[in-house]
Amino acid sequence: MSDNNREPVFYYSRERRLQRASQTVKDAYEPKKKHRGLLGLIGGRGNLMIFMCIILIIAMFGLGRYIIIRNEGLRLGGNILNLSLVYEEEILLLAIHKRAPSRGEVYIGEVDILIRPAGETQESTEFIHRVIFNLVETETFLIALPFLGNDFFVILRTSDEQKVIRLQP
């Protein structure tokens, strides 16, 4: 009966084993020092590398989305417009390529276009034209301009929206 009330005898002693161990083993059992700064906040070099990879991937997605939106073109009434000025045999043409988005509302109707050379203040150098956006996926409009130059303002106006863009041929 006295055998059940005795404390068990342990033949294993961690302290004695660590006294005979190498310095590498002793260092492994010592509590780690707290790192200060970003490395300590994240928890080590491996976690820091993973964190930096995640930040880099997020930045790449954001930059890609920004470039796609920026190169998408001008939006007018839900339509995506690409405008360009082109010289064709001493005639300056304004090319408007309209593309309707795959989803969402689009504008259908009259669009007034006013073209003015940059730096000109006289109304006599303005050119006004009107096109009609139809219910089609893509349309292209070519407008011959009655003047030449290298820098123009193009104003596009619908019944409830106006956009201004500066173009150079």
Q: What is the dihedral of CA 129, 134, 139, 142, to 10 degrees?
A: -20
* pLDDT by residue, tens only, the chain of 169 residues: 455 777 877 677 777 777 888 888 887 877 766 656 666 667 777 888 888 899 999 999 988 887 776 666 788 888 989 998 888 888 889 999 999 888 888 899 999 999 998 877 666 678 899 999 998 999 999 999 888 888 899 999 998 999 998 988 7
pTM of the predicted structure, to 2 decimals: 0.58
Domains with residue ranges and CATH for the chain: 14-71 (no CATH), 74-167 (2.60.40)
Q: How large is the greatest C-alpha to C-alpha distance in the chain, in angstroms?
A: 119
